[in-house]
Every structure is written in C-alpha cells, then in structure tokens.
Amino acid sequence: MPLQVKRLLIVFAILIGTMFALKYFLTPESWREFGPYRGNALKEIAAQEAKYIDTKTCAMCHDLIAELKNNGEHNSIQCENCHGPGYKHIDDQENNEMKIPKGREFCIRCHARNAARPLNIIKQIDATEHNIGEDCITCHNPHQPWL
C-alpha cells in the first residue's frame, strides 16, 4: 500500500475515533429511550409546575364576577386569558395580585378588524377610527361587554 494512503487511513482512523469519542461523551443521556429524541425531555416537560388554574377555582371567591361573565359574550374565555396565571394567587393573594389590563391595546388583540377573523364569532372594530383615545372599559364591562 502506498505510504500516502497509509497515512490517510491513520488520519481517518483518528477522525472516526474522535467522532465515536464525541458520540460517547456528548450524546444526551436519555437519547433513544423512546425514539430519536431525548427521553428526558418528556419528563422535564411533565415536571413543570402547572401555572394555570381553571375558572371554577376563580369562582370559589369571585362568584359574582364569574356569574356575570358566564352570562355574557365572554363566557367561553378563561379568567386567566386576561388576568394571567393564577397559581400563586390562590395561595397568597396579598403578594400575588392578578393583572387587570385596562388599556386599549389589550382588547385590540382579539377585536381589531382582521379579514382572517370570522365576523360572526368575534366582534371587530377599526381601532384607528373607533373612539380614539378612549379605553374600551369606559363603555364596555369586560366581564359582560354589552351590559
């Protein structure tokens, strides 16, 4: 075998060896536990603390507001959609106040006119024309917008 080929084979052997060493040391621990991905990823996601509670839990204290909301247009929306995660609030209300969005921008997220939104399901306005400068909650009660 010519010398240059021998040397090349040695280099390739070193490269392949390095690759196997890297594979040995760097492959994530739970790779292929279930399939071609990190098995631990599932456990890590499952172990994450649930940050959202449900509307029924909110209603345990805020029963009047919940009743108002349940009879209004926003009945299918979860409290936490607007007020943020409530998992800390249920244990300690003093130090974990819920968000109360009051600005125009917040309502516009859903109610700005958008051709891709079905009009018969979501009421939409042109925010550049509709009562400019006014907060939506001046006229609409967010828990029952047509009250």
Q: Decide: is 36 part of the binding site for other proteins (CB under 8 A).
A: yes
Binding mask of the shown chain, residues 85 to 124, with x at each position contacting other proteins by CB under 8 A: -------------------xx--xx--xxxxx--------
Candidates 1-9, 40-48, 55-63, 134-142: pick the segment binding other proteins (CB under 8 A).
1-9
User: How far, in Å, are 11, 14, 36, 132 from residue 6 at the CA level?
Assistant: 9, 12, 36, 80
State the first-to-last Cα distance of the chain, in angstroms, to the nearest integer.
92
Other beta carbons within 10 angstroms of residue 98's beta carbon come to 16
Residue 36 has which token pair? 């071609």
Q: How far is the CB of 39 from other proteins (least distance, A)?
A: 12
Q: How far is the CB of 85 from other proteins (least distance, A)?
A: 21
Q: Decide: is 45 part of the binding site for other proteins (CB under 8 A).
A: no
Rg from Cα positions in the chain: 28
Q: Are 72 and 147 in contact (CB under 8 A)?
A: yes
Binding site for other proteins (CB under 8 A): 2-5, 7-8, 11, 15, 19, 22-23, 26-28, 31-32, 35-36, 104-105, 108-109, 112-116, 127-128
